[in-house]
Structure 1
């Protein structure tokens, strides 16, 4: 029987060798063709083994001699090709299923299990090795190693779970419950590396990340909501507080407009009313500058509307009764000093603009200087919009030809002080620091700097604040002449 089936076993060995050669020649670049050829060769080998009356799942003591060697090699090749056919199915399934690249880890684990199972099968069904004893011994060794490497293995399997679940990827900004947050710069099977905003590298074991919840600030995008709590003295009506805080948020140029910022009055007692300002920022790196801008706007609008902030609990503060809130001058002019502020206030003409009212367009606008008392003024330049708040300055020449501003409009109800060019020029002659003070106030309010014309862009001809103010004087002198 062994001699009669010798050609069959030779055929099985030849098919096995051909399959090995084809397996390596095709490579991983053509997994579908590789799997089809492998299945065809495996089915041919299976048919030959069945024709020879051999059962690959049953151990048979081989005869000494050439025919016995052929039987052993035929069984080994059959089991090897069975493993490769199973591996081909795994590769094709993941590719056709459109799994992400991280799923390659699961694929490699399955391949390792296939090779382990085939190896044990060859030892049991080809060589007759007692794998039961081997498995028992291996189990004891595995228990010892598991206890010794408990933390390391926990990190490894947690890394596998995080890789498959993909709660974050490289480049995401994540936040942990205890306050640690940063951008993921690297991740392996054992640890994840975060680069914090203070430029420190935090190494977190994967087991720690897997056991606690984390917040991914980069999904679906990095825009997220932050809040600012403001305490206002309880003497003010809640509706006034709400309007003031909403105007403060509306005056910020950096916060995201969609979704729109909002104000929530959370608590009230005999000492203060608590208002929570909720607004969205483009990303974690924008938190501090935008929060600073919101605080600046809260200060400006509270001051302009006479809304006083509450003192912290358990604090003592003496109010000077001789300071009547700078009566007789506009709140927006207080910063220019006692004498200068009073003189500017006396020469100023108070103007009011309804919500949505047009203050000026390109080529026509206020003759002098507008200093905003209350409300928000909106400057438009094409699709760009800049909002000015109490204390900010609007120069009449900002709407002159080639200034770059299309229109100035009241975004809310606005009260402003209009200072004529003559009064401002007289003050500047007596106070040389006034120009720099107004220039600084204009620069810190996100005012629009007029864009240079194409003919002068290369000559640094962009008009600055001083140039704009002086142009008022020249225009007024020309009209008088």
Structure 2
């Protein structure tokens, strides 16, 4: 019987040492295989303990001979493998739960508790140390350390609270009450790391972060609303103003159109109609670009519809009839905001304006069909036009944009179908008049070549149009050749 006991204890030590060697050889890159090996060795050691009738949960005073030493080492190895198997289960559960990164603090806490429990068990059941007395003594030491490490412990427990509360996860964009905002890139026991929009890394202690008001921009998604106040001179009905600003928002390509943007009347007085524009963007990085585009389109639509921006409160002066006169809609005023004609002199604009013809189209009507060769350049005055390719919307055009440049300039068919999204008005410039304009103002070719090259990039499904200098020069030469200009 004693011989079987000795063999079981030797086998138990052998299994424990072999399990440690296999555990280290497998490494951290194979957690599943590591867990299987840990469970296998732990079960084998448990079966051996049962066969040898050794109770690891009871302290037996060991003899100071070889057998007693082997029993002590066997119990220590068994408790060590039990701790590793438990930790393996904890880590596998966190990975399968799909939250390995944000649950790092909880994982570390559970691992520490498992190791502490295993250490106390070894001291109590293997060496017979009175745990009650030890815990009472360690309590005094813990109080002293707690006072010395008060700030650090505050950060640690704040980190645990933030992890359990889950106000954010790694990768979320957050905004704090002190003005700090950015994306969470890392979090540990003591600090949270935030990458701001200016590409700076802000390190915040967890205790400071836990005390601040926090807005998670990424929840439920990163679409969030922007408010933009606008003041318009009250020389027309507020409903007309709201409709025009709605058109400006709907013609914007950089904002979210579902849910639709809105323009809400805030107030009215003798100097201004106050409106608040509400629109959404797809993420924090698009806020600046979207706001720039919206402001530019507000100017375009107001300029083409005879609306004037009011001066800030307290700085208004009486405009009188001059304001109404300047609000008169004409093709010359449209040239002020049309990039194509920005470089024309007043006499040149007057000549083109005199030869242009005003037209209009109802919402849903087709202005230019795909593959059509048009004989007039269409300059949008009011409303919104969409460019479509096989029924899919490519982009939206606003007042000041134009259609038909490819056909008029180079004789090539149009790449896209142009449809009126809303009721539109426009000015048509005949091809012969436009030829005279280009011959007298060659600089217009630069803008045309840029826009036509971008249209080619859009047709090729390029995310960012990239036009080489040589390609642009070739296009300019083609256009000049078409008009006989050298």
CA distance, structure 2, for counterparts of residue 118 and residue 129 of structure 1:
14
> Does structure 2 conserve the Cα–Cα contact (< 8 Å) formed by 1:261 and 1:277?
no
> Aligned residue for 2:334?
332
CA distance, structure 1, for counterparts of residue 469 and residue 288 of structure 2:
35
Q: How far has the Cα of 1:39 moved from its partner?
A: 2.0
443 and 298 in structure 1: CA distance in 2 versus 1, 3 angstrom threshold: farther
CA distance, structure 1, for counterparts of residue 107 and residue 189 of structure 2:
15
Q: How far has the Cα of 1:94 moved from its partner?
A: 4.3
> Aligned residue for 1:39?
43
CA offset digits 1:32-65 (Å, max 9, x no partner): 2431331232133134235xxxx655545555x5
> Aligned residue for 2:12?
16
Q: How far has the Cα of 1:420 moved from its partner?
A: 2.4
Cα RMSD for the two superposed structures: 3.7
Name which one, 1 or 2, has greater alpha-carbon Rg: 1
CA distance, structure 2, for counterparts of residue 462 and residue 412 of structure 1:
37
Q: For structure 2, which runs of at least 5 residues remain unmatched after alignment?
A: 24-30, 338-343, 461-467
161 and 47 in structure 1: CA distance in 2 versus 1, 3 angstrom threshold: farther
Residue correspondence of structure 1 range 54-453 to structure 2 within 5 A: 57-63=57-63, 65-66=64-65, 70-71=67-68, 73-75=70-72, 77-78=74-75, 80-92=77-89, 94-95=91-92, 98-99=96-97, 100-102=99-101, 103=103, 105-162=105-162, 167-219=167-219, 221-257=221-257, 259-270=258-269, 271-319=271-319, 321-322=321-322, 324-325=325-326, 327=328, 329-330=330-331, 331-334=333-336, 336=344, 338-364=346-372, 366-381=374-389, 383=392, 385-398=394-407, 402-403=412-413, 405-426=415-436, 432-433=440-441, 436=443, 449-451=454-456
Q: How far has the Cα of 1:133 moved from its partner?
A: 3.0
CA distance, structure 2, for counterparts of residue 261 and residue 357 of structure 1:
22
How high is the TM-score relative to the length of structure 2?
0.79
459 and 387 in structure 1: CA distance in 2 versus 1, 3 angstrom threshold: same
CA distance, structure 2, for counterparts of residue 196 and residue 20 of structure 1:
50
CA distance, structure 2, for counterparts of residue 262 and residue 466 of structure 1:
43
Q: For structure 1, which runs of at least 5 residues remain unmatched after alignment?
A: 475-481
59 and 388 in structure 1: CA distance in 2 versus 1, 3 angstrom threshold: closer
239 and 209 in structure 1: CA distance in 2 versus 1, 3 angstrom threshold: same
CA offset digits 1:439-478 (Å, max 9, x no partner): 65x799x777453999xx997378758966985x67xxxx
> Does structure 2 conserve the Cα–Cα contact (< 8 Å) formed by 1:359 and 1:366?
no
Q: How far has the Cα of 1:384 moved from its partner?
A: 5.5
Residue 471 (structure 2) aligned to one of 452, 460, 466: 460
CA distance, structure 1, for counterparts of residue 281 and residue 417 of structure 2:
27
3-state SS in 2 of match to 1:451: helix
Q: How far has the Cα of 1:380 moved from its partner?
A: 3.0
How high is the TM-score relative to the length of structure 1?
0.80
> Aligned residue for 1:478?
none
18 and 104 in structure 1: CA distance in 2 versus 1, 3 angstrom threshold: farther
Q: How far has the Cα of 1:135 moved from its partner?
A: 1.8
CA distance, structure 1, for counterparts of residue 111 and residue 336 of structure 2:
77
> Does structure 2 conserve the Cα–Cα contact (< 8 Å) formed by 1:9 and 1:70?
no
Deviation larger for 180-189 or 218-227: 218-227
CA offset digits 1:194-226 (Å, max 9, x no partner): 222223221111222234453343456544332
Q: How far has the Cα of 1:248 moved from its partner?
A: 0.4
CA distance, structure 2, for counterparts of residue 268 and residue 308 of structure 1:
17
CA distance, structure 1, for counterparts of residue 47 and residue 75 of structure 2:
10
> Aligned residue for 1:479?
none
396 and 111 in structure 1: CA distance in 2 versus 1, 3 angstrom threshold: closer
> Does structure 2 conserve the Cα–Cα contact (< 8 Å) formed by 1:229 and 1:275?
yes
Q: How far has the Cα of 1:282 moved from its partner?
A: 3.2
CA offset digits 1:252-274 (Å, max 9, x no partner): 222234x2431141422325443
CA distance, structure 1, for counterparts of residue 128 and residue 117 of structure 2:
15
448 and 177 in structure 1: CA distance in 2 versus 1, 3 angstrom threshold: farther
> Does structure 1 conserve the Cα–Cα contact (< 8 Å) formed by 2:83 and 2:115?
no
3-state SS in 2 of match to 1:370: strand
CA distance, structure 2, for counterparts of residue 451 and residue 59 of structure 1:
83
CA distance, structure 1, for counterparts of residue 237 and residue 196 of structure 2:
42
CA distance, structure 2, for counterparts of residue 232 and residue 353 of structure 1:
27
Q: How far has the Cα of 1:345 moved from its partner?
A: 2.5
> Does structure 2 conserve the Cα–Cα contact (< 8 Å) formed by 1:167 and 1:216?
yes
327 and 207 in structure 1: CA distance in 2 versus 1, 3 angstrom threshold: closer
Q: How far has the Cα of 1:387 moved from its partner?
A: 2.1
